[in-house]
Amino acid sequence: MSASNSPPGRVDPDVPGTAEKRKPRFWLRRLRRISQFTFLGLFLFLLFQSEFRGSFSRGAADTVRLDYPVSIFLELDPLVAFSTALSTHALYGNVIWALLLIAGTIVIGRFFCGWVCPMGTINHLFSSYKPERKGKRRVDANRYKKWMSIKYYLLFALIAMALLTSMQAGLLDPIPFLVRSLAVSILPGISFGLRTGLDFLYGTNIASLQWLADAGYRVFGTSLLSIKPQYYYFGFVLGAVFLAVAVLNRFVTRFWCRGVCPLGALLGLLSRWSIFGMEKNHSRCDDCNRCLLHCQGACDPQGKVPWRQAECHLCMNCEAACPEDVIRFRFFPKTEAINPLPDLRRRRALESVAAGMVVLPLVRASTGLAKDYHAGVIRPPGSVDETDFLARCLRCGECMKVCPTNAIQPALFESGLEGLWTPMLKMRVGYCEYSCVLCSQVCPTGAIWKITEAEKLGKAAAGDGSAAGRKTAGPVKIGTAFYDQGRCLRGVLPDFAEGDLGPGGDRGAPRRRHGHGPAPPG
Amino acid sequence: MMEESSSRRDFLIRSGRVGAGVAVACGLGFWLRERSRHPGRELTASQVRSYRIDIPDDVPRMVVATGGTPEALAAAALAPLGGMGRFVARGDVVVLKPNIGWDRVPQQAANTNPDLVKALVELCFQAGAKKVVVTDVSCNDPRRCFQRSGIARAAEAAGATVLLPEERKFRDYRLNGELLSVWPVYTPILEADKIINVPVVKHHNLSRVTIGMKNWYGILGGRRNQLHQNIDVGIADLATFVRPTLTVLDAYRVLVANGPQGGNLNDVRLVKTVVAGVDPVAIDALGASFLGLRPEQIPYIRIGHERGLGNMNYAELQVKHVSLE
């Protein structure tokens, strides 16, 4: 981009430094875009793979497992690591990968938000494509605003709850949020629509259209189309929340990332001492505000004000947009024009911690968890005890997506307010497949502890099971059913048990005793 | 005047427009009203899908082969019938219908033996079959059943086309049975020149024993658990609908209790037997004996016999016994 592309009058030979102006590094922005699409693609690929599609090349003795580490994005998530570490005083399994991101952020800042985060990329796309606000209105919308500090207070409240053993961060953490929204609502919806269209083509009985339908099933069969249609209780609420977040981008660029995202807030705090950042040459700035026009994080890249390090997504748009070579990202930048601290007030921060700490006793003092618990709260096989479960479950929905029978469903308030969208088995939708342990394979935090088929069936040899989270040997129990023999007519009326229902009572099916209750005399 | 002629023209155009609008709306309305029908289905005469072939009288109707591997037993059971070449002609599309109903490994004997299926696929190709399809509509998740039964890999290795059931390929068929009137059927099973039923014999908690006739549950979609309310008539209806070319019964391992799913190895007996034959009722009648049951104890076998689908008194037929030991 040469000076000839700049509006006339922009190049002023009297301004010092214009002569030796460096070219903006567009390749940085291009690299960022490539990175964003790569990680979004990887994220979607892994989400599509969170389903057992079967393999004809596998033999009977091979275990049924997914081929890819599908929950790796959740395990890379520093907020997941941080909050589960607080709520369980330990790090489960692969969550150790989050250290990569924590260390990376400490060194170079919030690169995750601008370069990696799939939710960030989706917000970025929705923000950039024909936005409602253009020109000066967009510039104004992209200046830092007070409400953008809300995300820090949300983070504090969520951390406070984690400290008191309630894992609520998953509600707003972007990775669980995105996995849950896509897996439980958006993808089943897309799959439903696509399937209806292709089945209509197939149903025409016209050979060429049927060929087209078959081709469609082959093309989308490993991605957008689930093997079977999937249904989720109140899934549309999750879809509506996701779409609302997407649409808000049209009015405020990356509304979610700037104002809500607790992971972004955590990374902002971690980037306090980062050695990579923006250096601004205020004297060159002529207030064209092009940097603001394309700013993602609302980190005040324009001249005359300090750069807000904690807000910046390192998207590199400002450097590429600046015609005057004011902005430059580099390692060990001069710190004069940098504000490394988020815009926080101590009183607000303490209030938000207090709010988080107050919510939990109120919720726990309500029925649902300890008393008058819902008989339908049947957690997936391998799940740890209910209070431990609530300390771990992110409600990411991975287990719901992977369940081959669709039995794992998002709860509403069956386990109290805390348990919203946690997984529970609804046997009227599906059943728990006898030797399936896929939900325990995908769970990133050990709410559903990793178990083997042998452990689930109680056939693990003594000492070989990593059956932590289970107190007793024997098959994994997901619930307890029993007869109240005082009420059961079979136990009281022996004739009834023998099937003497009188005329019309015999419906042809052989009648079997269930082996409960006393045997009838005679 | 200009204005008047213009307004007359205007009047005609606008009247024409609204007239056409009303006419189209009314025409469409009455046409749609004519189309109105109760959305139920029309029934036609009873349907039979027969893939049977004529067999000379001197050929046995049934061969019982015992001892040896499933592969050897398959060949031994077919040889007295004239080999697979008697049933499969050059260029045929053959559908093998094993029982792949459950998420169970071969040792648990809830599904047909994979080695037997593989051997039959190879025999079909040797007889000149153009294409051999192996499929079933499983009860458990089909992806798991096809893998864990070992049948998908075994059949695919032998060159068969293994099809997982797909929702769009079910069509409503007018079975017009006593219990089954209209039901969704997995069409790839019926789109064949020859069909070979490859059931496994095992205990069943509702019908006492499941063999070949019961195996046709695996062509149905929909809520077929409803059929459990009157299971024997349902089985007989299905056996009336589908008449296979050949039935090859797997009694290599027999699940004698806690069927149809099983799971406990203590319920499995190693019987090492394969039965091949063309009379589906006779095969089921003989198959019941593996669980110590007489044919007349099994209602659906009795119904099948009464309907003339075959002869449950298999002793009246030519039965040949082959021992490999």
Residues in B closer than 8 angstroms to A456, CB to CB, are none
Of the candidates A435, A436, A508, the beta carbon closest to that of B230 is on A508
User: Which residues on adjacent β-strands are paired with residue B242?
Assistant: B49
Tokens for B116? Answer: 């037997």
- Mean pLDDT computed over every residue of chain B: 92
Mean pLDDT along residues B108-130: 96
- Mean pLDDT computed over every residue of chain A: 86
Kindly determine whether residue A509 and residue B228, on different chains, have CB atoms separated by under 8 Å.
yes
- Residue B179 in this model has a pLDDT that exceeds 70: yes
**How far apart, in whole angstroms, are the C-alpha atoms of residue A356 and residue A354?**
5
Tokens for B238? Answer: 């299905």
State residue A410's pLDDT score.
97
Fold observed for domain A374-479: Alpha-Beta Plaits (3.30.70)
Residues in B closer than 8 angstroms to A227, CB to CB, are 143
State residue A481's pLDDT score.
80
Residues in A closer than 8 angstroms to B144, CB to CB, are 52, 54, 64, 404, 433, 436
State residue A156's pLDDT score.
96
Q: How close A197 gets to chain B, by Cα (Å)? A: 11
Q: What is the tens place of the pLDDT at every residue in B9-45?
A: 888 999 999 999 999 999 999 999 998 887 765 555 5
State residue A12's pLDDT score.
47
User: Which range is least confidently modeled, A10-24, A53-67, B304-318?
Assistant: A10-24
**How far apart, in whole angstroms, are the C-alpha atoms of residue B240 and residue A327?**
82
User: Which range is least confidently modeled, A336-350, A477-491, B120-134, B231-245?
Assistant: A477-491
- Residue A1 in this model has a pLDDT that exceeds 50: no
Q: What is the tens place of the pLDDT at every residue in A127-141?
A: 998 888 888 999 999
Q: What band does B174 get if pLDDT is binned at 50, 70 and 90?
A: confident
**How far apart, in whole angstroms, are the C-alpha atoms of residue A449 and residue A469?**
7
The CA R_g of chain B, rounded to the nearest whole Å, is: 27
Q: What sign has the CA pseudo-torsion A261, A266, A271, A273?
A: positive
State residue B47's pLDDT score.
74
State residue A471's pLDDT score.
47
Of the candidates B144, B164, B230, the beta carbon closest to that of A436 is on B144
**How far apart, in whole angstroms, are the C-alpha atoms of residue A186 and residue A193?**
11
Kindly determine whether residue B103 and residue A434, on different chains, have CB atoms separated by under 8 Å.
yes
Burial of A281 by CB count in 10 Å (0-12 exposed, 13-18 middle, 19+ buried)?
Answer: middle
Q: What band does B106 get if pLDDT is binned at 50, 70 and 90?
A: very high
**How far apart, in whole angstroms, are the C-alpha atoms of residue A329 and residue A317?**
11
Q: Is residue B285 within 8 Å of B312, Cβ to Cβ?
A: yes
Q: How many CB pairs under 8 A join A and B?
A: 82
Structural domain boundaries of chain A?
26-42+70-360, 374-479, 482-522
**What is the signed CA dihedral for B230, B232, B237, B241, rounded to 10 degrees?**
130
In the three-class reduction of DSSP (H, G, I as helix; E, B as strand; rest coil), residue A110 is classed as coil
CB proximity list for A133: less than 8 A, separation 6 or greater: A141, A251
- pLDDT higher for A62 or A471? A62
**How far apart, in whole angstroms, are the C-alpha atoms of residue B40 and residue A455?**
49
**How far apart, in whole angstroms, are the C-alpha atoms of residue A40 and residue A50?**
15
Q: Name, of A442-451, B32-41, B176-185, the range with top average pLDDT.
A: A442-451
Mean pLDDT along residues B238-242: 94
Tokens for A232? Answer: 């989720």
Tokens for B164? Answer: 């997982």
- pLDDT higher for A171 or A515? A171
State residue A412's pLDDT score.
92
Residues in B closer than 8 angstroms to A59, CB to CB, are 147, 150, 153
Residues in B closer than 8 angstroms to A229, CB to CB, are 167
Q: What is the tens place of the pLDDT at every residue in A313-357?
A: 999 999 999 888 888 898 998 888 888 889 899 999 999 999 999
Q: What is the tens place of the pLDDT at every residue in A62-89?
A: 888 898 999 999 999 999 999 999 999 9
Kindly determine whether residue B144 and residue A404, on different chains, have CB atoms separated by under 8 Å.
yes
Angle at A279 between CA A273 and CA A284, to 5 degrees: 160
Q: What is the tens place of the pLDDT at every residue in A283-300?
A: 888 889 999 999 999 999
Kindly determine whether residue A433 and residue B144, on different chains, have CB atoms separated by under 8 Å.
yes
Residues of B with CB under 8 A from a CB of A: 103, 105-106, 114, 140-144, 146-150, 152-153, 156, 162, 164, 166-169, 205-206, 208, 228-232, 261, 263
Q: Is residue B132 within 8 Å of B159, Cβ to Cβ?
A: yes
- CATH 3.40.50 assigned to B49-323: yes
% of chain B at pLDDT higher than 70: 96
State residue A479's pLDDT score.
85
Kindly determine whether residue A203 and residue B168, on different chains, have CB atoms separated by under 8 Å.
yes
Q: Which residue of A has its CA nearest to B157?
A: A57
Q: Is residue A497 within 8 Å of A490, Cβ to Cβ?
A: yes
Residues in B closer than 8 angstroms to A509, CB to CB, are 206, 228-231
DSSP A380: P
Residues in A closer than 8 angstroms to B143, CB to CB, are 52-54, 227, 404
Kindly determine whether residue B146 and residue A54, on different chains, have CB atoms separated by under 8 Å.
yes
Structural domain boundaries of chain B?
1-37, 49-323
Burial of A295 by CB count in 10 Å (0-12 exposed, 13-18 middle, 19+ buried)?
Answer: buried
Kindly determine whether residue B141 and residue A61, on different chains, have CB atoms separated by under 8 Å.
no
Mean pLDDT along residues A384-395: 93
Q: How close A323 gets to chain B, by Cα (Å)? A: 58
User: Which range is least confidently modeled, A10-19, A415-424, B57-66?
Assistant: A10-19
Q: What is the tens place of the pLDDT at every residue in B142-159?
A: 988 999 999 999 999 999
Amino acid at A327: I
Q: Which residue of A has its CA nearest to B156?
A: A56
Kindly determine whether residue A56 and residue B228, on different chains, have CB atoms separated by under 8 Å.
no
Distance of CA B260 to the CA centre of its chain: 17
Burial of A417 by CB count in 10 Å (0-12 exposed, 13-18 middle, 19+ buried)?
Answer: middle
User: Which residues on adjacent β-strands are paired with residue B131?
Assistant: B93
DSSP A383: B
**How far apart, in whole angstroms, are the C-alpha atoms of residue A380 and residue A440?**
8
Q: Which residue of B has its CA nearest to A196?
A: B168
Q: Is residue B238 within 8 Å of B258, Cβ to Cβ?
A: no
Mutating which of A51, A55, A56, A403 best tests the B interface, going by the most B Cβ atoms within 10 A? A56
Tallying the residues shown for chain B, one arrives at 325
State residue B44's pLDDT score.
53
**How far apart, in whole angstroms, are the C-alpha atoms of residue A486 and residue A476?**
28
Mutating which of B148, B205, B297 best tests the A interface, going by the most A Cβ atoms within 10 A? B148
- Residue A60 in this model has a pLDDT that exceeds 70: yes
| H/E segment holding residue A408 | strand A408-410
- pLDDT higher for A323 or A148? A148
Kindly determine whether residue A64 and residue B150, on different chains, have CB atoms separated by under 8 Å.
no
- Residue A496 in this model has a pLDDT that exceeds 60: no
Mean pLDDT along residues B278-296: 95
The closest alpha carbon to B282, from B322, B233, B319, B244, belongs to B319
Instruction: Respond yes or no on whether the N-terminal peptide bond of residue A380 is cis (omega within 30° of 0).
Output: no
Q: Is residue A446 within 8 Å of A469, Cβ to Cβ?
A: yes
Q: How close B88 gets to chain A, by Cα (Å)? A: 26
CB proximity list for B125: less than 8 A, separation 6 or greater: B132, B158, B159
- Residue A464 in this model has a pLDDT that exceeds 70: no
- What does the H/E/C string look like for chain B? CHHHHHHHHHHHHHHHHHHHHHHHHHHHHHHHHHHCCCCCCCCCCCCCEECCCCCCCCCCCEEEEECCCHHHHHHHHHHHHCCHHHCCCCCCEEEEEECCCCCCCHHHCCCCCHHHHHHHHHHHHHCCCCEEEEECCCCCCHHHHHHHCCHHHHHHHCCCEEECCCHHHEEEEECCCCCCCEEEEEHHHHCCCEEEEECEEEEECCCEEECCCHHHHHHECCCHHHHHHHHHHHHHHHHHHEECCEEEEEEEEEECCCCCCCCCHHHEEEEEEEEEECCHHHHHHHHHHHHCCCHHHCHHHHHHHHCCCCCCCHHHCCEEEEECC
Mutating which of B156, B168, B261, B298 best tests the A interface, going by the most A Cβ atoms within 10 A? B168
Mean pLDDT along residues A351-370: 89
State residue A26's pLDDT score.
85
Q: How close B276 gets to chain A, by Cα (Å)? A: 25
Mean pLDDT along residues A101-106: 95
User: Which range is least confidently modeled, A229-238, B2-11, B70-79, B85-94?
Assistant: B2-11
**How far apart, in whole angstroms, are the C-alpha atoms of residue B249 and residue B197?**
8
Residues in B closer than 8 angstroms to A52, CB to CB, are 141, 143-144
Residues in B closer than 8 angstroms to A198, CB to CB, are 168
Of the candidates A56, A198, A217, the beta carbon closest to that of B152 is on A56
Mean pLDDT along residues A171-192: 96
Q: What band does A461 get if pLDDT is binned at 50, 70 and 90?
A: low
**How far apart, in whole angstroms, are the C-alpha atoms of residue A413 and residue A429?**
18
Which phi-psi region, left, alpha or beta, contains residue A89 (left: φ > 0; alpha: ψ -120 to 50)? left
CB proximity list for A171: less than 8 A, separation 6 or greater: A158, A177, A395, A420, A421
Q: What is the tens place of the pLDDT at every residue in A246-257?
A: 999 999 999 999
Mutating which of B108, B111, B134, B141 best tests the A interface, going by the most A Cβ atoms within 10 A? B141
- Residue A377 in this model has a pLDDT that exceeds 50: yes
Residues in A closer than 8 angstroms to B153, CB to CB, are 56-60
* Pairing label, strands B246-255, B268-277: antiparallel
